[in-house]
């Protein structure tokens, strides 16, 4: 059991996938560019790079482009096979191989936090 | 920023809504019965009661019945208007009134944890 205050420390936001490509010489890894409506100091869109181990569910990574789904956005960045991951896809899978993204409806803009 | 270990303390699971009704004399509250594939000692299905402030998005609460969506399942139970809530709906809303459940696809059984 956790407290509501502990729960509130986690940020899970909607992000729109701008690009998705297989990381060479890996079985499972995709490198995503994801828009969370974040900008740099000059006001330019600043998508995040996110590495996710879902390649087996998306034989054609292009199928992900344009989708809005959910990501943990306040984890410390970490290096995965030399690529920095600035967040983590938040999705569901089962022991027998079922998999699902969590896709909000079209009214939800990138950057919206789930709560 | 949080660590991966902090993130792992939160359980967010798919639950199937069995019933949904308005809590009388409230503007926003619905009382849901939600199946997480949990059972009691005798093996009988033991759904949870969850109170959620989403009545304005579902004028007919029956529209929720049968849906599978996401819930925080390891929060301490709390009393809301006299009703115990054994979890919290995990969804998205925006300042201008947009709202979205997070509905996994049909291959995901109740009880599956997102990660």
| Span A106-115, pLDDT tens digits | 999 999 999 9
pLDDT at residue A71 in the model: 98
Residue ranges of chain B with pLDDT lower than 70?
none
| Residue numbers of the domain that contains A55 | 11-101
pLDDT at residue B12 in the model: 98
CA distance A21 to B43: 46
pLDDT at residue A4 in the model: 93
Tell me if chain A has a CB within 8 Å of the CB of B63.
Answer: no
CA distance B58 to B64: 8
Interval A53-69 mean pLDDT: 97
pLDDT band at residue A78, thresholds of 50, 70 and 90? very high
Report if residue A53 sits inside a domain: yes
CA distance B60 to B56: 9
Count other Cβ atoms within 10 Å, centred on residue A43: 7
Report if residue B113 sits inside a domain: no
Report if residue B5 sits inside a domain: no
Domain of B27, CATH number, reads 2.40.50.140
Report if residue A2 sits inside a domain: no
Interval A60-80 mean pLDDT: 97
Report if residue B42 sits inside a domain: yes
pLDDT at residue A6 in the model: 94
What ipTM is given for this predicted complex?
Answer: 0.94
Cα four-point dihedral sign B51, B53, B56, B57: negative
Residue of A9, A79, A85, A100 to mutate, testing the B interface (most B Cβ within 10 Å of its Cβ): A100
Please, how many CA atoms are within 13 Å of residue B58, restricted to the half-sphere of its CB?
21
Interval A74-94 mean pLDDT: 97
The minimum CA-CA distance between A22 and chain B, rounded to whole Å, is 21
Report if residue B3 sits inside a domain: no
pLDDT band at residue A38, thresholds of 50, 70 and 90? very high
Report if residue B94 sits inside a domain: yes
Please report, rounded to a whole number, the percentage of residues in chain A having pLDDT higher than 90: 100
Strand bridging mode B12-22 / B30-35: antiparallel
- Give the count of domains, chain A: 1
The minimum CA-CA distance between A96 and chain B, rounded to whole Å, is 10
Report if residue A109 sits inside a domain: no
Please report, rounded to a whole number, the percentage of residues in chain B having pLDDT higher than 70: 100
CA distance B20 to A93: 27
pLDDT band at residue A77, thresholds of 50, 70 and 90? very high
Cα four-point dihedral sign B72, B79, A6, B96: positive
Mean pLDDT, all residues of chain A: 97
- N-to-C CA span, chain A: 17
pLDDT at residue B8 in the model: 96
């Amino acid at each position: 059991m956790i407290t509501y205050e502990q729960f509130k420390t986690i940020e899970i936001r909607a992000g729109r996938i701008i690009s998705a490509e297989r990381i060479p010489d890996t079985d499972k890894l995709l490198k995503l560019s994801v828009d969370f409506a974040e900008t740099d100091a000059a006001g330019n869109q600043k998508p995040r790079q996110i590495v996710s181990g879902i390649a087996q569910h998306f034989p054609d990574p292009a199928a992900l482009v344009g989708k809005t789904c959910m990501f943990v956005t306040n984890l410390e960045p970490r290096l995965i096979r030399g690529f920095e991951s600035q967040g983590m896809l938040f999705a569901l899978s089962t022991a027998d191989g079922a998999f699902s993204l969590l896709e909000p409806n079209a009214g939800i803009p990138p950057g919206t936090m789930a709560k």
